[in-house]
Amino acid sequence: MSQNIPGTAKKGIHELGAETKVGWDEVTQGVVLEPFAEPVKDVAHIRPEERNYTDFSSYTATVASWRVLKPVYNSDICIDCQNCWVWCPDTSIISRDKQMLGIDYDHCKGCGVCVEVCPTNPKSLLMFDTNENLDVALSQWPEKKKKEK
Amino acid sequence: MAKKFDINEIEVWDGNYATSQALRQAQVDVVAAYPITPSTPIVEGYGSYVANGYVDGEFVMVESEHAAMSACVGAAASGGRVATATSSQGFALMTEVLYQASGMRQPIVLTVVNRALASPLNVRGDHADMYLGRDAGWINLDAFNAQEAYDLTLCAFRIGEHLDVRLPVMMHQDGFTTSHKAQKVNPLQDEVAYKFVGDYVPVDEMLDFSRAVTHGAQTEEDWHFEHKAKQHKALMDSRTVIDAVFADFKALTGREYKRVETYLLEDAEVAIVALGSSVETALLAAEELRKEEGIKAGVIAPRVFRPFPYDLIRDVIDSSPLKALAVMDKSSPGGAMGALFNEISAAAYTTQNRPLITNFIYGLGGRDFSVEEAKRIFKEQKAHADAGHITTPIQQFSGLRGPKLGFFETKRS
């Protein structure tokens, strides 16, 4: 089972700037934020987890606080078709070299599109309460459905 | 390199032409515009200067005023000097993006030619659009004639782009009365005007590829308040920069501007407070009334509508023998007192003098405001002053046909 999300040590632990809530006199002018800690060249060819993001980037910040249901991924059934990766509106399906690795719960809003487009039987992604333990969720996975005639 | 424009020491320009010349002389990099009456000639002029090589810039044709201001925000965030013009319905459509521009601290100059808001549809001048944008976080300058439209447009760049300010600036002038009336204007030569405005200094510009920046971030209850407070402080603090820029402009041209203009106020017992071209009408009425009837009449005119000059209004009231003020609002107040009345009253409340203050709604949809009507209003203020209390409803309508319309009686005598 592969629920490990690739990322930097920082990733996903920060609400946007919540760890240092400064006053009005210290916020940046015009809400301008610097996403990278150092100058970056050719950023399109560097994987997100290898970029030197600051705390004030949309990568390190979690924006999933309003999620109610979350998709849980079952690697035993998944056929790595990449349908969920293609359809996810928040780039929250983590796939490397056409291998499905898991879900980025810091950016997934719980829309359920990935579950809808999953073609396997039973589905490799199912929606559970966002607070559900992943092992408990996987233990409740349904059996393969028989074809209806 | 832009070609030099041949300019005489004295020109006969209308407010629109004067403004477009100021945009050219400031060498604005990008004007994105969707033309609308009566401001059209401003952006049309800039477009022709680009086409004929008199400015090194881009004229961006867009599909709406919302898009115009959006393109201006993008161009400003990229690191350019940016301006546009609009009026009325176009201003209304821009409103959402006006708040984006100020929150993003982009020093865009918007030359507004004031026009009534529909319905009923109307192309004539009143201050409905100015009032619509008054909380948008922009600096608001107000020109009363074509010369001032030219001068203040140049000043607008200096003020907004100042690194301690970095806020967008609106430069207002009255539709048709100022924008289309040819008047004597003393312009500056190109190199003198550009030297006054200065080179644009970009801040956090997106075209600096060595340093990636995020513009237009989202904040919620944890950060929004601090950012808005910082923006408000910058707007309040811009008063000192405005004063300094006006001082520089006076040193260069001899023409003096103040955040509050006063006329004949030293010994004035009654005064009219107004914005726009009505200021000159009221001044003419005050001069005549002094000669004809010995009424000590004066005029107070906020040159800067935002940040509102509470400090100077209070000084002005306490340093003159004023007993009664008529505050003129050229916008339908929608169930309240006029906005200028509210601001002046708030400032006056904490003065020693505390004059009697009444509100006139006037000039809606371009209804003429005559010298005779200004005299009548002065005389009414004199009656309040003599009686020691307000003898009419607090809010009245000036120049309106039909039965007299007024609201709220005074409880103070």
Q: Classify the C-alpha dihedral B121-B125-B131-B133 as positive or negative.
A: positive
pLDDT tens sequence across A128-147: 999 999 999 999 999 988 87
| DSSP of A45-107 | GS-GGGS-B-SSSTTTB---TT--EEEEE-TTT-----HHHHH-TTS-EEEETTEEEEE-TTT
Is pLDDT at A19 greater than 60 in this prediction?
A: no
Give the ipTM of the model, two decimals please: 0.85
Matching CATH topology for B11-253 and B260-407? yes
Q: B216 at the A interface (CB within 8 A)? A: yes
A100 located within any domain: yes
Q: Do A31 and B203 touch (CB under 8 A)?
A: no
Contact A39 B211 (CB under 8 A): yes
Which tokens go with A46? Answer: 């560097």
Establish if B211 touches chain A: CB-CB under 8 angstroms.
yes
Is A96 within a domain? yes
- Residue-wise pLDDT for B31-53, tens only, equals 999 999 999 999 999 999 999 99
| Pair of tokens at residue B157 | 């760049």
B106 touches chain A (CB under 8 A): yes
- Domain residue limits at A109: 69-139
Question: B11-253 belongs to which CATH class?
Answer: alpha beta
The predicted model gives B78-94 an average pLDDT of 98
Q: A25-77: per-residue pLDDT in tens?
A: 988 899 999 999 888 888 889 888 888 888 888 888 887 888 999 999 999 99
CATH number for the domain harbouring residue A91: 3.30.70.20
Q: Smallest CA–CA separation between A27 and chain B, in Å?
A: 7
Domain ranges of chain B: 11-253, 260-407
User: β-strands B304-306, B324-329: how paired?
Assistant: unpaired
* Residues in chain B closer than 8 A to A57 (CB atoms): 214
**Does domain B260-407 sit in CATH 3.40.50.740?**
no
Q: Note whether residue A23 is domain-resident.
A: no
In-domain check, residue A120: yes
On whether residue A119 sits in a domain, the answer given is yes
Assign B234 to helix, strand or coil: helix
Contact criterion met (CB < 8 Å) for A18 and B219: no
Q: Which helix (H) or strand (E) holds B327?
A: strand B324-329
Find out whether B279 and B340 touch, Cβ atoms under 8 Å: no
Whole-prediction pTM:
0.90
**Total domains present in chain A:** 1
Residue of B nearest to A34 (CA): B213
Q: Is the dihedral of CA B385, B386, B390, B396 positive or negative?
A: negative
Distance CA A33, CA A49 (A): 19
Per-residue pLDDT band at A148 (split at 50, 70, 90): confident
User: What tokens appear for B300 in the block?
Assistant: 């107070």
Please report the sign of the dihedral spanned by the C-alpha atoms of residue B66, residue B69, residue B74, residue B75: positive
A40, A47, A89, B213 from A53: Cα distances, Å? 10, 11, 22, 12
Cβ-Cβ pairs closer than 8 A, A with B, add up to 68
Chain A CB contacts of B167 under 8 Å are none
- Residue A112: inside a domain, yes or no? yes
CB contact under 8 A, A29 and B204: yes
Contact B284/A at CB under 8 A: no
Closest CA relative to residue A72, chosen from A21, A19, A125? A125
**Is residue A107's pLDDT more than 50?**
yes
- The amino acid occupying position A22 is V
In a domain, A128, yes or no: yes
User: Sign of dihedral through CA atoms B147, B369, B169, B81?
Assistant: negative
Chain B residues within an 8 Å CB radius of A24:
225-227, 229-230, 233
In a domain, A17, yes or no: no
